[in-house]
Amino acid sequence: MTTIREAVFGLLRRHGMTTVFGNPGSNELLFLKDFPSEFRYILGLHEGAVMAMADGYAQASGQSPLVSLHSAAGTGSSMGVLPNTVYAKSPVVVLSGQQVRDTVGQDVMVSSQEAALLPRPLSKWSTEPLGAGDVLRSLAQAIHIANLAPKGPTHVSVPYDDWEREAGENADFTVGRAVADATALADRHLDEITASLDAASHPVLVLGPEVDATHANDDAVRLAERLAAPVWVAPSPARCPFPTTHPLFQGVLPANVVGIAQLLSRHDAVLVVGAPVFRYHHQHPGRYLADGSRLIHISNDPSEVARAPFGDAYLAPIDDALARLAGNVQARDASPPPRSERAAGIDRANRMHPDTVFRAISDLAPEDAIHVVESTSTAESFWSNVAMRHQGSFYSAAAGGLGFGLPAAVGVQLAQPERRVVAEIGDGSANFGLVGLWTAARYRIPVTFVVLRNDTYGALVSFGRRLSATGLPGFELPDIDFVQLANGYGVAAESVCTEARLRESLTKAFAGDEPVLIEAHTYYE
């Protein structure tokens, strides 16, 4: 007899889902019983950190990890990070435990009468099978939905007495089934977009995270070069879709209407690929686009193309669209536009400017290093100083909340063991996911964590000024000793105040094969 548990592990093998991130409770133990030796279980100390690790792993590997969480309490604790998997389009499959099926209606301990409703607003699909016989099929559906464009998280709640039941004679059909996604931009749409770009005098590209997620960066470069078009990254980027060292790279668009409209005003054709139009953040209203300019939007997300307030949209796979456009448009001969340069910040006594920190990291890290960044007040400094040339070199919080960066770096490093991961984390952000250090130490995951310690919530200070909000309570974060905290979790750490010391510490960290935390004293400007 094949049990439902055995059939589910067969399903996970079929889809390459042999990495499981978890923080289990009593309801999950029968699922984890006789855990297969070829599977890898990564334990985290808090459900939010577990979700962030899985999110980072999913983005960096392109594969679906399974996340094993406790019932309502555990799943609820993960929901601070779950929105990031939605906006990052991470195909994370969450499996939460549930009490014995016949007792759930009594609201017994660690049960959840509405288990499917809890994460539903923050997932593509959420369910609790009506009977044990539908557990395997429901998990298969969750895997398929998570991986169909636009990718995203799914959730299944399973009562723990279901695992020992018989899977049934048709389980092999469900395990062996394959689902293929849409694969091509329609020819007539390709011709329409090509004609618009060829007719434009001054086209511009705006690229989003799905370019990087679909490994289409090289085709984006080919398209930009053939059009001789400058390239901007869409606002608040979660990934880097274009090499920052390329002469056509212009930087990151601001997250407000007026700022974007001004920067794009000289272009008569704006091609936005793999990003929403647009995810504004700062309220500076105005006309979306200059008169005489046309915006063309290509996305693999029906919601993105439907909700955009302007522009003509095409629903299509990003990698196929970019590859075919790059081979279809007419080649132009033009000099790359000049890129605006900003003056480098100046260090103070025992405090470095963030420019110094990012410049040192860029100079000393391996050329193909991966940067996981959650330091919201230093974004401009990061993009001005860090060179990124390869696909999958940058990950940041897509939803805007905190707690993703530090544990996500652990997941990214697990997914990309041949590359070195640097986590650049603000001191405010670090506290949301600090328990991720324990997992890094437990499994010897060699992330270099750089905590930019400016002793304040810099982003809140900035927004307070922007909104003219006076009389706010204090946002200072004094006297947090990240060296001692890291040591307590088993991670070697040191504190640095000068560029010379920082460079020494980075050199040593990159030469080693253990996780290291560097507390870099900076100031907020």
Range 187-328 classified under CATH 3.40.50.1220: yes
Tell me which of 523 and 467 has the higher pLDDT.
523
Burial annotation 299-336 (CB, 10 A radius, 16+ → b, else e): bbbeebbeebeebebbbbbbbbbbbbbbebbeeeeeeb
68 and 95 Cβ atoms separated by less than 8 Å: yes
d(CA 200, CA 175): 50
For residue 218, how many other CB atoms are within 10 A of its CB? 13
Please give the average per-residue pLDDT across 172-181, as a whole number: 92
Per-residue pLDDT at 462 exceeds 70: no
Hey, what amino acid is at 228?
A
Please give the average per-residue pLDDT across 367-379, as a whole number: 94
Which pLDDT band holds residue 333 (cuts at 50, 70, 90)?
Answer: confident
d(CA 424, CA 170): 49
- The closest of 428, 441, 432, 388 to 524, measured between CA atoms, is 428
Report field, pTM of the whole predicted structure over 0.75: yes
d(CA 259, CA 255): 7
Report cis status (omega within 30 of 0) of the bond before 407. no
Lowest mean pLDDT among 52-61, 112-121, 122-131, 190-199: 112-121
What's the length of the chain? Answer: 525
Beta strands in 187-235 (DSSP E): 203-207, 231-233
Please give the average per-residue pLDDT across 415-438, as a whole number: 96
Q: Angle of helix 354-364 relative to helix 499-511, nearest 10 degrees? A: 30
Please give the average per-residue pLDDT across 487-504, as a whole number: 98
d(CA 294, CA 306): 17
d(CA 53, CA 48): 9
* 3-state DSSP helix/strand/coil % of the chain, to nearest 5: 40, 20, 45
Q: What is the pLDDT of residue 464?
A: 65
Q: What is the pLDDT of residue 458?
A: 66
Which pLDDT band holds residue 52 (cuts at 50, 70, 90)?
Answer: very high
- The closest of 433, 456, 435, 453 to 372, measured between CA atoms, is 433
Q: Which CATH number fits domain 4-176: 3.40.50.10480, 3.40.47.10, 3.10.150.10, 3.40.50.970?
A: 3.40.50.970
Q: What is the pLDDT of residue 182?
A: 82
Lowest mean pLDDT among 153-167, 252-266, 274-288: 274-288
- The closest of 437, 299, 443, 455 to 377, measured between CA atoms, is 455
42 and 20 Cβ atoms separated by less than 8 Å: yes
Per-residue pLDDT at 141 exceeds 70: yes
CA 295, chain centre distance (Å): 26
Which pLDDT band holds residue 204 (cuts at 50, 70, 90)?
Answer: very high
Q: Is 312 helix (H, G, I), strand (E, B) or coil?
A: strand
Tell me which of 392 and 477 has the higher pLDDT.
392
Q: What is the pLDDT of residue 41?
A: 97
Q: What are the beta bridge partners of residue 21?
A: 42, 67
153 and 188 Cβ atoms separated by less than 8 Å: no
Q: Is 376 left (phi over 0), alpha (psi -120 to 50) or beta?
A: alpha
Please give the average per-residue pLDDT across 39-67, as a whole number: 97
Per-residue pLDDT at 445 exceeds 90: yes
Q: What is the mean pLDDT of the chain?
A: 93
The superfamily in CATH containing domain 354-521 is: Thiamin diphosphate (ThDP)-binding fold, Pyr/PP domains (3.40.50.970)
Please give the average per-residue pLDDT across 475-497, as a whole number: 93
C-alpha pair distances (Å), 512 with each of 8, 361, 505: 39, 15, 11
Q: What are the beta bridge partners of residue 395?
A: 239, 372
d(CA 496, CA 520): 5
User: What tokens were used for 487?
Assistant: 């040591």
Q: What is the pLDDT of residue 334?
A: 78
Per-domain residue ranges of the chain? 4-176, 187-328, 354-521
Classify burial at 102, counting beta carbons within 10 Å of its beta carbon; exposed 0-12, middle 13-18, buried 19 or more: exposed
User: What tokens were used for 440?
Assistant: 């890094």
- The closest of 52, 50, 40, 51 to 13, measured between CA atoms, is 40
Active site residue ranges? 25-26, 28, 47, 70, 281, 400
- Tokens 């480098």 locate to 344
